[in-house]
Structure 1
Amino acid sequence: MRVLRTSSVRVLGERDSAAVHALLDADPVGNVFVSSRVRATGLDTGRLGTEVWGYIERGALSALCYSGANLVPVGASPAAIRQFSDHARWQGRRCSSIVGPIDQVTDMWERLGPAWGPARAIRANQPVLELSEDPHVPSDPLVRRVRVSEIGMLVPACVAMFTEEVGVPPDSGDGGALYRARVEELVRTGRAFARIEEGRIVFKAEIGAVTPYACQIQGVWVHPDLRGRGYAAGGVAAVARMAQAVIAPRVTLYVNDYNTPARATYRRVGFREVGAVMSVLF
C-alpha cells in the first residue's frame, strides 16, 4: 500500500474497512455521504475512483479524509487536519469543493487557502437537518418515482437546480455526459422523484446518498413559475415517506442558512437541526 509523506497519514484500503465503518457509523447522519460512497464501492482506490486518507494515532485510525470531487474530513482533530492539509497541498487541488463540519473545514481552508484560493464561493453555515419520524404534513399524492422514459425531461430541471444552487452549470466541462449519467443512475435505482404535469417538472428531488441507517435528500426544486404555492412541503414529505419506507429510516439534508423559505418548509415537514457544515466551492 502506498504510504503518504507523513508517518501518521496513509491511503486506506480494504484491510481498514472495519475501522473505517466504525468511525463513519459513529455519526450516521453527519457522515452519510462518505459512508454511502465507501459502502457502494469499498476502499480499493481503483473501484472507488478516489482516495480515502486515514490519520493513524497510537496505532489506530482516529480520523479520515475522503479525497475525490469533494474533499471531506471526518472526525478530524486539529492535528489530523494539519496532516490532511499538508498532503492535499502537496498533491495539488483535485476537488471542486471542501465540505464538512464547520470547525474542520475552517481549519483546513485556513491552511489550504493561500495555495488554492481564492474560492469561488464559501457557504460558511449550512444547517444539517434530520427527519426520523413521520412527516408533519401530508404527502403530495402526485409525487412519484421518475421513469426511465422521463430522464430527458428530468435532466434540464436538475441542471437548472444545480446552476441556481451552486452558481455554475454542472454540464459545462464535458457537455453534460457525466452529469446526465449520474441523473440516469438515480432514476434507474429508484432514487429520483418528481411531480410531473403536462410534460413539465413541477417538483423534483433525489436521494443522493444511502446507507442502511440514513439517506440524504438532494436537489429539491420547484419550477420557478410555480413557487410559493406549497408544492415543496408536500413534495418533500412524499419523498421522505417513500425513503423511510424502502431506503433508510433516517432522512437528512443540508440547506444554506440564508435560504429562509427552504428552512421554513423543512421545519414544517418536521426536520430538525442536528448539526452544520461548511462548503468551500471552487
Structure 2
Amino acid sequence: MTRLSRVAPWLPFPRGTHHSPVRVLVHADTDALRALIARDRVANVFVDSLVRENNSAVPTFRGSVMLGLFADDGVTLAAACWVGSNVVPIEATAEQATHFGHWVVDHQQQHASIFGPAEPTLAIAEVMRKAGVQAQEVRANQPLLTIAGPPLIPASPSLLVSQSGQFDEILLAAAAMFEEEVGYSPFLGGEGNYRRRVAWLISHGYSLSHCEPHGEVIFKADLGAVTPHVTQIQGVWMNPRFRGQGLSAAYMAAVVNLSRQHAPIASLYVNDYNIRARAVYEQVGFEQVGTFATVLF
C-alpha cells in the first residue's frame, strides 16, 4: 500500500508582546557556550557538533541563531537554545526554556521540530501551543541511551562505511526511513537539501550500510552528530524484506564498533513505544542515561 505523503502545516499566530531576557549569542560567547555544552556531552552532542564545525557560537546556516539566557550577573551563560529548522534547548530547566519558547513565538519562525531533554523541550512546546502553534505529534518519552564500550554481542561483518557510488541507493533508503518515521517525504521540503545531507554523511564516512550485490540497501544507519567525545546514531533502518529475521542486533553491534572509530561513547534516543528496537539496543549493551522528547510540526 502506498502512503500518501503530507507536509505538516505551520499555523499562523499573532506576534507576541512578551519581553524576553534572551539574546542572540555572538562570537565572543563561544567559550561560554562550549563550557555549557560540556556539562553533558551526550545530551548536547548535536549542538556540540555544530559549534565544533563552525568554531563559533554564531551559526553559518542561514536563518539559524544560537540563543543565550544569562544568570543575574549578566555574565554567566545559564542556558542556551539552537533555533534553526529545529529548536534544541541546551542545559535549560523547564522554567528557563519558557523564555526560549517566547522568543520563538515572538519571532514567528518556522520549525520542523523541537527535540532534546524532555522537560525543556516540552516547556517550549507548551509556550508555542498557548500561542496557537499546533504540533502534529508529541513524543514525550524517548529514552536516551549510550554504550561506552564494545557491544555485548558479535557484530555483523557485512556493515561497512557507505561509498559515494552507493549514493542513489542510500538516498532511497534514507527517504524511506524518514517517511516511515515522521509520516511525510523529506523531498517535499526541498529534495536538494535532503540530497546534500545524505551526500555529506557519505563523504564524511558517517553513513553505514549493508547492500545486496545489485545495490539494494538491506540495513543502514547514520552517525548524525559526531564529536571527539560522543557520536549520536540516527537514521536506523532495516529493509522491510529483511525484517523479522533477527538481523538487527548484529547490525547495531557493528554500528557501535564503527562509531567507536570516532568517539568512545555511542548514543541514540528511541521512542518509548518501539519495544522491538529497545530490546535490540538492550541486547547490544545500550543503557538509558536520560529522557528526550521530540515535538513535530
The structure 1 residue matched to 2:265, chosen from 237, 245, 250, is 250
SS state at 1:37 partner: helix
Distance in structure 2 (CA, Å) of the matches to 1:247 and 1:125: 28
Distance in structure 1 (CA, Å) of the matches to 2:65 and 2:210: 37
The structure 1 residue matched to 2:216, chosen from 200, 203, 211, is 200
Unaligned runs of 5+ in 2: 1-17
Distance in structure 2 (CA, Å) of the matches to 1:82 and 1:203: 40
Q: Would you say 1:102 and 2:118 are equivalent positions? A: yes
CA contact (8 A) 2:94 2:119 kept: no
Residue 278 (structure 2) aligns with: 263
CA RMSD of aligned residues (A): 1.5
Distance in structure 2 (CA, Å) of the matches to 1:109 and 1:37: 23
Please identify which structure carries the higher helix content.
1
Q: CA deviation at 1:234?
A: 1.1
Aligned residues: 276
Q: Would you say 1:140 and 2:137 are equivalent positions? A: no
Q: CA deviation at 1:196?
A: 0.8
CA contact (8 A) 1:139 1:234 kept: yes
* TM-score computed with the length of structure 1 as normaliser: 0.94
Unaligned runs of 5+ in 1: none
CA contact (8 A) 1:41 1:48 kept: no
Cα deviations across residues 182-234 of structure 1 (Å, max 9, x unaligned)? 00000011110111113211111010101111010111111001101122111
Q: Would you say 1:56 and 2:92 are equivalent positions? A: no
Distance in structure 2 (CA, Å) of the matches to 1:7 and 1:203: 46
The structure 2 residue matched to 1:91, chosen from 97, 107, 123, is 107
Q: Would you say 1:211 and 2:227 are equivalent positions? A: yes
Distance in structure 2 (CA, Å) of the matches to 1:73 and 1:64: 6
Among all aligned residue pairs of Structure 1 and Structure 2, give the percentage whose two residues are the same amino acid.
Answer: 38
* One-letter identity of the residue aligned with 2:161: R
* One-letter identity of the residue aligned with 1:35: D
* One-letter identity of the residue aligned with 2:32: A
Residue 24 (structure 2) aligns with: 11
127-136 or 72-81, which moves further after superposition?
72-81
CA contact (8 A) 2:51 2:59 kept: no
CA contact (8 A) 2:145 2:289 kept: yes
Distance in structure 1 (CA, Å) of the matches to 2:30 and 2:66: 11
SS state at 1:153 partner: helix
CA contact (8 A) 2:20 2:103 kept: no
Distance in structure 1 (CA, Å) of the matches to 2:281 and 2:186: 25
- Equivalences for 1:1-282 in 2 at 5 Å? 8-43=21-56, 45=58, 47-49=60-62, 50-57=64-71, 58-59=73-74, 60-174=76-190, 176-198=191-213, 199-244=215-260, 246-282=261-297
Cα deviations across residues 55-87 of structure 1 (Å, max 9, x unaligned)? 011221000010011111112134422321221
CA contact (8 A) 1:128 1:275 kept: yes
69-78 or 134-143, which moves further after superposition?
69-78
* One-letter identity of the residue aligned with 1:184: A
CA contact (8 A) 2:93 2:119 kept: no
